[in-house]
Structure 1
Amino acid sequence: MSVNKQSVEQIIEAVGGKENIAAATHCVTRLRFALKDESKVDKEALESIDLVKGSFSTNGQFQVVIGQGTVDKVYNEMVAMTGIGQATKQEIKDAAAQNLNPLQRAIKTLADIFIPILPAIVTAGLLMGINNILTGPGIFFDEKALVDVYPQWKDFASIVNLIANTAFVFLPGLIGWSAVNRFGGNPLLGIVLGLMLVHPDLLNAWGYGAAEEIPTWNLFGLEVQKVGYQGQVLPVLLASYVLAKLEIFLKKKIPDAFQLLLVAPIALLLTGFVSFIAIGPITFTIGSVITDAVVGIFEVAPILGGLIYGGLYAPLVITGMHHTFLAVDLQLIGSTGGTFLWPMVALSNIAQGTAALAMMLILKDEKLKSLSATSAVSAYLGITEPAMFGVNLRFRFAFISAIIGSALAGAFISMQGVKAPSIGVGGLPGFLSIFPQNWGSFFIGMAIVLIVPFVLTLFLGKVRKEK
């Protein structure tokens, strides 16, 4: 399908003209701009353009939702019209970072580290869901699992479980690769660092509490515990920062002819010593305190905790702060074997989709009706941006309705102790990543976010029309 050049010109003018565009790129569905002055954007004019399905600003980037398959054509046309050079996503992020405050930069850093490893984590969650279906008792047969009734499936389930668990067994390796790369070091050294922290010669962190005796190294009179950091997030994050900065420092000081022989060995050796002597024990303690605090809140007041997190997740998405909870989810999974936060994320996605679906029945504008329908489907499959930014935030009562439904569902599933063994795909397929014994409660939570936002949006929409 060809792109209307006039519409592309209108998009350029609506974002403040080509003089206001510092850099631009695109992803699967959106144009991503680093603008010199976002106050020059005419959102009303922008969202009246046929090609545009919504717009929003996050992490210093102004993003325009176009749609899969069309966005690259719009981008190419825009490049030809404005003469701006094609930029990479990283270049856009770097340009956008100039407009961020310290807190936003910290959140962005966490996002830059965890988003690249999400495909591996989500895949692990889906495969764990398949394993749960095969090995969960009482799903298909009374008090028996599918593999108990059909033993020929047992080895298949075992292989699926091994593949699914790999991302979590070697999680520090994934984080090390991404974090060292983000901090400007060699990502391959990051992988080695992460795997070093879960080396089989170390006492497995999951067996730390039950161990009768903790093995130690004697380093010149200093007793250092030989403990691994399986499932831990903070140790490898801080160690990766030290490794990257140490590597950069050594490259500046060591002549080029000797860098291959000296930089990596010295950087890894020093970081390794510091990790096992100080970084590991300190951050392990901090991680345990954070985990105990989060778990404690939900144990003491699960309804309140679920109500707050379930209701606040969608607003956190607007600010980009939801990325910080990826680290908390992974810490919970590594420390307790499951997370009670991610199930609420899946329900929040459904709530946003339901509110958008209700808006399809309220709206008269054909373009907005079509956008509401397609964005609802997208949200039900875990991608909420079109529904949130294209429809629900535009009509605030729909967004509020979705938040209320998500908060109520979050309170209910928290009270029931619903957990997921991994982060998975959000939306309707989310139940696959929930422990099978929690499916009943999770399905009730799904019913809440399918009914409450729909009814509330219709009701508030009717009240608004009458006013």
Structure 2
Amino acid sequence: MSVNKESVEKIVQAVGGKENISAATHCVTRLRFALKDEGKVDKEALENVDLVKGSFSTNGQFQVVIGQGTVDKVYKEMVAMTGIGESSKQQIKDEAAKNLNPLQRAIKTLADIFIPILPAIVTAGLLMGINNILTGPGIFFDEAIVDVYPQWADVASIINLIANTAFTFLPGLIGWSAVNRFGGSPLLGIVLGLMLVHPDLLNAWGYGATDEIPTWNLFGLEIQKVGYQGQVLPVLLASYVLAKLETGLRNKIPDAFQLLLVAPIALLVTGFISFIAIGPITFAIGNAITNAVVGIFDVAPLLGGLIYGGLYAPLVITGMHHTFLAVDLQLIGSTGGTFLWPMVALSNIAQGTAALAMFFVLKDEKLKSLSATSAVSAYLGITEPAMFGVNLRFRFAFISAIIGSALAGAFIAMASVQAPSIGVGGLPAFLSIFPKNWGSFFIGMAIAIIVPFILTLLLGKTRKTQAS
């Protein structure tokens, strides 16, 4: 797509002019702005620009959807036009963080930690789905595929090993990302995380089944030799301590002695603190959180499904959905599965369906094209174009998607649908669901498709949506 200066100038003026731009960068499809005052943005004028496919604000950044390939040309033209220096994504994040309140900063910190490890978690989920197909009875035959065709048993075993690696050594992944986020050395974060799941420790998954828990005796103080497999809170807090301790030591110890002293002291002190205090305390907190969430859905699955299924999309708008990734991982580590993530997948489908329905409601060709492409994106697990580019613009479409997602969430919650891992959202999500739950999940998918589509069409016909 060609880029003309007039369109770029309209984008700059619509976001409040170059005086309102603190910094700007871009990703594969979007311009990312750190604005001084988002109240100066003229969204109507912005979204009337031919190059713009949608816009939204998240984590203190105002983002304008342009499209792959074109966004790079638009950004370069904008830099040349405004004189704003090219900025890195980290600079934009740092600039945007200045406008966040403490809660938003905490949520952003969690997002910064968990988003980098998502590819490994999602990959593990997809591979677990393949393993489930091979080993789950009743899918294609009364018995599992590996029982009917024993030659596939070892193939399934290797796939399972590869899939489980990310979850077996999850503290290592979190340690790497968290220590990096808190300003320490990522390599030490990996060592810290792996230390918490060392083979010499009692495996956390066998904690409740053992008759005798091994201990260390530290000058009369008994410390349990327990690992933290599948746990999130212990490694998060330990990573913070390690990063701050390492930073403090680097500021105090002369450069000539840092290699010999900083890492050994930081790891040794953090290790002792982790096993003596951080681990036991956060392990108990994590289990309490797990029990509370599970208890709510045990007592009132219909209500829990309605609330979480309905609120997930609004949570995405605020960025608070990132906090539930930690809850999902905690549930998987503690109980072997999560009932929250399947509702996320259905929310993706509901948003995509509402956007697809808008394709039949709208008359404007640009919006029709955006509706179709964003629906496909949502069906594959990426909902932002559908939500921010189409559904929120026509509020009834967003509400229709929420209603469909809530009803679908309530149904699968009552049916106790669970996933052994986090996978790709949208239509491929069934691969990451326990095969025994596929039937109920497919019914949930049907609800998330039919309800938003019909509601959006009905409400759309009663409103003036002939966008020009």
Which residues of 2 match residues 356-395 of structure 1 at below 5 A?
356-395=355-394
Partner residue, 1:65: 65
Look up the equivalent residue of 1:84 and give its one-letter code: I
Deviation at 1:464, TM superposition (A): 2.0
Distance 1:188 1:237 in 2: 15
Partner residue, 2:269: 270
Q: Deviations over 1:163-205 (max 9, x none)?
A: 0000000000000000000000001000000000000000000
Distance 2:428 2:297 in 1: 25
Partner residue, 2:418: 419
Distance 2:160 2:89 in 1: 35
Runs of 4 or more consecutive aligned structure 1 residues displaced over 4 Å after TM superposition: none
Deviation at 1:87, TM superposition (A): 1.2
Partner residue, 2:208: 209
The SS at the match of 2:32 is: strand
Partner residue, 2:80: 80
Distance 1:270 1:377 in 2: 50
The SS at the match of 1:28 is: coil
Q: Deviations over 1:369-419 (max 9, x none)?
A: 111011001100101001000000000000000000000000000000000
Partner residue, 1:126: 126
Matched, 1:189 2:188: yes
Deviation at 1:5, TM superposition (A): 2.2
The SS at the match of 1:461 is: helix
Q: Deviations over 1:67-114 (max 9, x none)?
A: 122212211221222222221111110000000000000000000000
Partner residue, 1:301: 300
Look up the equivalent residue of 2:214 and give its one-letter code: P
Consecutive unaligned residues of structure 2, counting only runs of 5 or more, are none
Identity %: 89
Partner residue, 2:8: 8
Distance 2:5 2:420 in 1: 48
Matched, 1:438 2:440: no
The SS at the match of 2:462 is: helix
Look up the equivalent residue of 2:40 and give its one-letter code: K
Look up the equivalent residue of 1:60 and give its one-letter code: G
Partner residue, 2:260: 261
Distance 1:189 1:371 in 2: 45
Look up the equivalent residue of 2:256 and give its one-letter code: A
Look up the equivalent residue of 1:141 and give its one-letter code: F
The SS at the match of 1:87 is: coil
The SS at the match of 1:464 is: coil
Distance 1:70 1:417 in 2: 45
Which residues of 2 match residues 214-293 of structure 1 at below 5 A?
214-293=213-292
Deviation at 1:463, TM superposition (A): 2.0
Partner residue, 2:427: 428
Q: TM-score, normalised to structure 1's length?
A: 0.99
The SS at the match of 2:339 is: coil
Look up the equivalent residue of 2:36 and give its one-letter code: K
Matched, 1:26 2:63: no
Look up the equivalent residue of 2:116 and give its one-letter code: P
Q: Deviations over 1:244-268 (max 9, x none)?
A: 0001111111111111110110000
Partner residue, 1:112: 112
Look up the equivalent residue of 2:335 and give its one-letter code: T
The SS at the match of 2:463 is: helix
Q: Deviations over 1:290-331 (max 9, x none)?
A: 000000000000000000000000000000000000000000
Once the two structures are overlaid, the 10-residue window that deviates more, 20-29 or 334-343, is 20-29
Deviation at 1:465, TM superposition (A): 4.1
Distance 1:5 1:149 in 2: 65
The SS at the match of 1:360 is: helix
Look up the equivalent residue of 1:20 and give its one-letter code: N
Distance 1:78 1:141 in 2: 59
Consecutive unaligned residues of structure 1, counting only runs of 5 or more, are none
Distance 1:39 1:407 in 2: 32
Q: Deviations over 1:190-234 (max 9, x none)?
A: 000000000000000000000110000001111000000000000
Deviation at 1:159, TM superposition (A): 0.7
The SS at the match of 2:183 is: coil
Look up the equivalent residue of 2:260 and give its one-letter code: L
Q: TM-score, normalised to structure 2's length?
A: 0.98
Partner residue, 2:334: 335
Q: Deviations over 1:111-163 (max 9, x none)?
A: 00000000000000000011011111010102x01111111111111111000
Which residues of 2 match residues 443-458 of structure 1 at below 5 A?
443-458=442-457
Distance 1:319 1:2 in 2: 34
Which residues of 2 match residues 392-403 of structure 1 at below 5 A?
392-403=391-402
Partner residue, 2:99: 99
Distance 1:160 1:85 in 2: 47
Partner residue, 2:353: 354
